[in-house]
């Protein structure tokens, strides 16, 4: 199975900060990568797919990049509603999908 | 508006069974692949099972293979997960998720989840 490793597992940031989260795949997955945001007690929400395509309705301060094994999610100017846990997910081995362990973005 | 509503969770003893349901509305259910994804308390997301739009193709995670059965009823716009021989490690919130973008494993809509607790 393809393993997805996210770093850091948590970070503290302030509103207005630029935040970058990294996701590494155990083997090349081309651009078959999605990012999700999850708030406590809620279902995950799709942010980005195909490594860099923004899902409809997602603010443009979110962006994704990368291909192969290394990917990043960037939040250009952190807003209060962005404090959440973020997961990467590979779908290269569809339908056998795997998620990263998550990155919790907390208020500094 | 797309809606997915899970039900059927609850407390069950180890070795017991439970059947989860996911009621879909707001889209043509029979045109979409569907999945179950679970999340143990305080943990990350784990893909559990996939079913094609017609129901003819099914996959399972190794952790549930042989114990869980996914199915769907397109006439009733419903997805199911029959869970047998439940273990403590199956304790989780179970989400149904629509495979909505290019049928490629990108989950554009999720239900609110239903909690399954396996404990004596």
Cβ-Cβ pairs closer than 8 A, A with B, add up to: 57
Closest residue on chain A to B99 (Cα): A95
Residue A88 has pLDDT above 90, yes or no: yes
Residues A83, B13: Cα–Cα separation, whole Å: 36
pLDDT at residue A108, rounded to an integer: 86
Going by pLDDT thresholds of 50, 70 and 90, the confidence category of residue A37 is: very high
User: What is the pLDDT averaged over residues A52-69?
Assistant: 97
- Taking residues A47-62, what's their average pLDDT? 97
| pLDDT at A107 (0 to 100) | 87
B104:A32 CB<8 A = yes
User: What is the average pLDDT score of chain B?
Assistant: 97
Q: Tell me the average pLDDT across B17-38.
A: 97
Flag whether pLDDT at B103 surpasses 80: no
Closest residue of A to B110, CA-based?
A43
Tell me if residue A81 falls in helix, strand or coil. Answer: helix
β-sheet bridge partners, residue B79: B22, B72
> Which one of B37, B49, B94, B105 would you mutate to disrupt binding with A, by most A Cβ within 10 Å of its Cβ?
B105
For residue B104, name the pLDDT band (cuts at 50, 70, 90).
Answer: confident
Query: Is B105 in Cβ contact with A97 (below 8 Å)?
Result: yes
Phi/psi of residue B24, each to 5°?
-105, 145
pLDDT in tens, B39-53: 999 999 999 999 999
- Summarize pLDDT for B77-97 with one digit per residue, the tens: 999 999 999 999 999 999 999
Q: What is the H or E stretch that residue A65 is in?
A: strand A62-67
Instruction: Give the rounded distance of the alpha carbon of B43 from its chain centre.
Output: 17
What is the spatial distance between Cα A42 and Cα A38, in angstroms, rounded to a whole number?
Answer: 6
Mutate to test the interface with A, among B2, B4, B35, B44 (most CBs of A within 10 A): B44
Whether pLDDT at A8 is above 80: yes
């Amino acid at each position: 199975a393809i393993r997805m490793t996210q770093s850091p597992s948590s970070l503290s940031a302030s509103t207005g900060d630029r935040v970058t989260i990294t996701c590494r795949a155990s083997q090349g997955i081309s651009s078959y990568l999605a990012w999700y945001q999850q708030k406590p007690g809620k279902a995950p929400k799709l942010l980005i797919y195909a490594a860099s395509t923004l899902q409809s309705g997602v603010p443009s301060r979110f962006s994704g990049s990368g291909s192969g094994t290394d990917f990043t999610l960037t939040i250009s100017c952190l807003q209060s509603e962005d404090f959440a846990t973020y997961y990467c997910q590979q779908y290269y081995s569809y339908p056998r999908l795997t998620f990263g362990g998550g990155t919790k973005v907390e208020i500094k | 508006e797309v809606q997915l509503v899970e039900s059927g969770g609850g407390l069950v003893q180890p070795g017991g069974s439970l059947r989860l349901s996911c009621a879909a509305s707001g889209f043509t259910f029979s045109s979409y692949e569907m999945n179950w994804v679970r999340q143990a308390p305080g943990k990350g997301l784990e893909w559990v099972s996939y079913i094609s739009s017609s129901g003819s193709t099914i996959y399972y995670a190794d952790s549930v293979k042989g114990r869980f059965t996914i199915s769907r009823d397109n006439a009733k716009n419903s997805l199911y997960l029959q869970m047998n021989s439940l273990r403590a490690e199956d304790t989780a919130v179970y989400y149904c998720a629509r495979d909505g973008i290019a049928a490629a494993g990108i989950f554009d809509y999720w239900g609110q989840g239903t909690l399954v607790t396996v404990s004596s």
